[in-house]
Amino acid sequence: MLDELARHLPALTLVYSAFILAVASPGPSNLAVMATSMERGRRAGMTLALGVTAGSLTWGILAAIGVSALIAGHPGALHAIKIVGGLYLLFLAWRSARSAMRVDMPAPKAAVSGRRTFLRGYLMHITNPKAILSWTAIIALGLRPDAPTPLVHAIIIGCGLISLAINQGYAILFSSAPMIAGYRRIRRRAEAVLAAFFAFASFKLLTAQL
């Protein structure tokens, strides 16, 4: 098995490099991880990040077994996901805008640090058509018709670990004392920017031609 993977090392390197750039670049999911970590603490940020990674892995597995090809052949399914994702981003924009209008720092809520926070991260990523298309591209980039099964496993597991490391890293970094202190000073502006970003992403998603 190791010999097979060694033969496909250039393809794996390319896949991992592309995935690192995709996960680390600013987007709704990692921006939400940063904001949640600064506002509600490390545990909530890491829980949200875990949900994001679970959503990413879900699309990775579906892309690997060919469900993405099925979606590509049925535009209605992708349009439905696009609408759900756009409305969810709009909901996140409303939440951020409401927080930006508050003068005082919202008190941490222990209840959001568990299952609901994980589900929020999962839904945020699972309803993002960009994640579907990105994973389809990643799978296509690394696989060939004669690709062995271990290579598929290496792509899914490796990318899953990359997503976990980067998103958890964001949660840990942005929940540190200096980051939290800085966030308290610029909280309202940061939330306003986040609300504008979510609203813009929602608009682009709902009006995009797929």
**Amino acid of residue 129:** P
- pTM, full prediction: 0.71
The confidence score (pLDDT) of residue 95 equals: 77
From 174, 206, 186, 35, select the one nearest 117 (Cα to Cα): 35
Q: Which residues of the chain have pLDDT under 70?
A: 1-8, 25-26, 67-75, 77-78, 81-82, 85, 88, 103-113, 129-130, 133, 136-137, 140-147, 205, 208-210
Contacts of 49 (CB under 8 A, 6+ apart): 33, 121, 164, 167, 168, 170, 171
Give residue-wise pLDDT tens across range 90-121.
Answer: 887 887 788 778 766 555 444 455 888 999 99
